[in-house]
Amino acid sequence: MIFGGRNNIRNAALLGAGHFLNDLTAAVLLAYSVRTSDGATTSVHFTLYAVLAFATQLPLALFIDRYRLSGVLIRAVLLLMPVLIPLASLNLTVAVILAGVVSSAYHVCGGALSVEGEYNTGLRSGIFNAPGIIGLTAGSFIIPEVAVWIIAAAWIIAWFINIKTELPQSTPASHHAPEWHDVLMFVLLLVVAFRSAIWDIFHLMSQDDNITLWGVAIAASVGKLGGGLLSDYLRISRVLLLTLMSSALLLQFTDRSKLFLYVGIALLQASIPPAILAFRARIPQLPGSANALVLGFAVALGGIVYTLDLEAWQPYLIGIYSVLLGLIGFRLWKTKSF
């Protein structure tokens, strides 16, 4: 039902616009740090932001879900976003710390609110998540004096956004959610795939290849929308298996063609909405935590794995991917969940 729940889709679009502004704010602050601070200070700023924005999502989500704070906090962080840019001129480190906290809270609260109700949950998750990477990329090229006026739109979103506090008691049976152990294996694959994607993106940044970075951003955004839409019409396990299998393999060959990079990133990002819905089906009363397990926990682990020296394992990674995917596919086929 593509036109079902139009008000919810409108709400998801507003939340997605806020996601764009949130990531734009972070990128502007970090780019400002690169231009004005020494290398050591910039590294501290990047580390602080990464830890606060991703690693804190899960514990914060458990607290927010426990006390049903998504509706209150989403407006609070939207109102705070435009203040962060002027604050940077006074104390950049404090602004980066607050940006990390704001980002963590926005991903948790916005992700939870975007999948409320029963219609188009996959599409709405894709609509919420897709604009983030575009904002992150755009923020690297916009000076703070201009960005502050763009980010002021967050105040308008805070005014018009429609907050609901009712949580679903269950998720629609049509999603055919995989079992817990299969979900956890999917997360493991997501972590490994994120490791490859993070390596590729950092490599592009070190080469100042801005055109390819924009290509990656657009591919990621399209992938999230496509993955969300597919999740509303196909079984979650099917979308997850196909997207993760394809992306994990393609991202091993990005040095041969940029097409592998773009398609691999798009397929990897297409796995995010169905992964969120898989957790949501298992923990329907913890929607923020369902988002945090994918957008925070898996990304943070992927970043940690990226820092490890795994070059010696590189020839064996494709084999490891194939074995894991084969095991998951066999289990889903045996349980008729595929």
Total domains in the fold of the chain: 1
Q: How far apart are CA 161 and CA 153, in angstroms?
A: 12
Is the distance from CB of 227 to CB of 126 less than 8 angstroms?
A: yes
Tell me what the pLDDT averaged over the chain comes to. Answer: 82
Tens-place pLDDT, residues 14-59: 999 999 999 999 999 999 999 999 989 998 999 899 889 988 999 9
Query: The pTM is what?
Result: 0.87
Question: How much is the pLDDT for 171?
Answer: 47
- What does the CA dihedral 254, 192, 309, 208 come to, rounded to 10 degrees? 40
User: Which phi and psi (to 5°) does residue 69 adopt?
Assistant: -100, 5
Tens-place pLDDT, residues 59-90: 999 999 999 999 999 999 999 999 999 999 99
Q: Does residue 1 lie in a domain region?
A: no
Query: Which residue reads 């997207």 in tokens?
Result: 243
Tens-place pLDDT, residues 264-313: 999 989 999 999 998 898 888 899 999 998 888 766 655 554 455 555 55
Question: How much is the pLDDT for 172?
Answer: 47
Angle between the N-to-C axes of helices 314-334 and 180-206, in degrees from 0 to 180, rounded to the nearest 10: 150
What is the arithmetic mean of pLDDT over 92-97?
A: 97
Question: How much is the pLDDT for 196?
Answer: 52
What is the arithmetic mean of pLDDT over 96-125?
A: 93
CATH of residue 123 = 1.20.1250.20
Tens-place pLDDT, residues 213-272: 899 999 999 999 999 999 999 988 889 888 887 887 888 788 888 899 999 999 989 999
| 202-219 core/surface letters (b: 16 or more CB in 10 A; e: else) | eebeeeeeeebbebbbbb
Three-state DSSP class for residue 253: coil
Per the structure, the complete domain to which residue 273 belongs is given by 6-334
Question: How much is the pLDDT for 117?
Answer: 80
Higher pLDDT among residues 284 and 206, named by residue: 284
Q: Does residue 279 lie in a domain region?
A: yes
CA distances from 316 to 224, 252, 310, 328 (A): 29, 11, 10, 19
Question: How much is the pLDDT for 174?
Answer: 42
Q: Does residue 227 lie in a domain region?
A: yes
